[in-house]
Amino acid sequence: MGNIMKSLMAFVLLLVAIIAVFAKPNNDREFILKFGFQPLSTLSLLSEKSQGTNASQDTKLGISAGLEYFQYLNNVVALGLGAIYDFPRDINNTNGNVSFMPLFVALKLRTPLHGLDNTFMFCSGRLGGSIPMLTNLLDGATQKIGLYYGAGLGFSINFLVIEAIYAINNFSISLPNNSETIDANCQTITLYAGFKFE
């Protein structure tokens, strides 16, 4: 499933790059400051030495904040950049906690605007890298940045933005003395409310 989503995101970004080359410039742009909570988040570890044994654990409720900038290429398509910080949240049944800082490029498709109307629905996709930060879990291990990708649905009413995003933070963990490398990911659903500045 993960490989399918990566391929789809790569195809969409390629398509947007082609659109950007031929699109008529548009002065419509957005800067969005948003805050959210994560009611669902699951951390998964895949050990190479234990024949692909997968250990998964849910986390406690999380809090997230982010910044995004979008430039519209026309009345529907926008390209953007973003950064998110997922605040540390406890991992169930452990003493550890986890947080992430994804940095990404984004694509937004909105319903066309008519006249002075500033209300629309939109879908979005993002692709980038995620910086992991685990504490009190696997002491002495080194964490490495991994692929971040996700998709969302939302709506905008004047300066208010509401969005739900499903995202996956991939990363790897190298145990002390390079004894083992563990592939890991954290899947999250985040509900955001934000303010849009144009």
Q: What is the DSSP string of 153-177?
A: EEEEETTEEEEEEEEEEEEEEEPGG
Chain center to CA of 156: 19
- pLDDT of 168 reads 94
pLDDT tens by residue, the chain, 198 residues: 455 556 666 666 666 666 555 555 567 889 999 999 999 888 887 766 544 446 777 888 899 999 999 999 888 889 999 999 999 888 888 777 888 999 999 999 998 877 666 889 999 999 999 999 887 766 667 788 899 999 999 999 989 999 999 999 998 888 776 667 788 889 999 999 999 987
Ordered by start, the domain boundaries in the chain are 2-197
Is-above-0.85 flag for pTM? no
- pLDDT of 174 reads 80
Q: How many residues does the chain have?
A: 198
- pLDDT of 70 reads 94
User: Both tokens of residue 120?
Assistant: 């629309």
Burial of 50 (0-12, 13-18, 19+ CB in 10 A): exposed
Query: Residue 2 — φ and ψ, nearest 5°?
Result: -65, -40
- pLDDT of 106 reads 94
Say which CATH topology domain 2-197 has: Porin (2.40.160)
- pLDDT of 9 reads 61
Pair 122, 109: CB distance under 8 Å: yes
